[in-house]
Every structure is written in structure tokens, then in C-alpha cells.
Amino acid sequence: KKMVRYRECLKNHAAAMAGNATDGCGEFMPSGEEGNIEALNCSACNCHTNFHRKEIEGESSSWNCYHSPQHINRIGRKVILGHHHKNLIAPEAFGYPTGTN
């Protein structure tokens, strides 16, 4: 059985305002005993485990893929892509500014 660890919280609290603000929670700390539903929430930030970066023992992390310079668009916003980078829709399709005139 591989060991699973949840790391920093990645929840973007400013997503509705097209911004980026995380709470800085550095590592998941369960709110309750293992096996209880409370253990799925972090006692530090109160977010569910789904918002924390998952690290599985023996598997390479895709974390670097999300934070490499090639994923920052022309106006400096980070663009988070799916695991396989398919079905990507350009920001222009949604009416977002791209920094070109």
C-alpha cells in the first residue's frame, strides 16, 4: 500500500474575482481521527483534502508542470492546465484580456 500525503492548500479564495489568493496553509492537518469524516478537513485552513496537493509515495509529482514559466500568459497570470494539457481553451474565447492590442 502506497503512502498518501496531502501538502499545501491550493484553494484559490479569489477565483470569483479573477484573482489568485491562497491562505498559505503549508500542509494538511486532519481535524479528526483517521476514519472519521472530520479527518477529511484540514484543521489549519478548514478546507477539504481535495484542495490540498496530493503526494503519493513512489510517484512523480506534476507540481512542477503547473508552476513552470511556460504556463504564465502574456499578462502575467498563471494558467493552470489539465494533467494531459488537452481541451485547452484560449483565454480570448472567454473575453479575458491577453495583453495584445
pLDDT tops 70 at residue 97: no
Query: Could you tell me which residues are beta bridge partners of residue 56?
Result: 4
Q: Cβ(20)–Cβ(73) under 8 Å?
A: no
CA angle 17, 21, 27 (to 5 degrees): 145
- Of 61, 38, 60, 41, the closest CA to residue 49 belongs to 41
Cβ atoms 20, 14 nearer than 8 A: yes
**Mind listing the pLDDT tens digit for each residue in 28-79?**
999 999 999 999 999 999 999 999 999 999 887 655 545 444 444 444 444 4
Domain ranges of the chain: 3-57
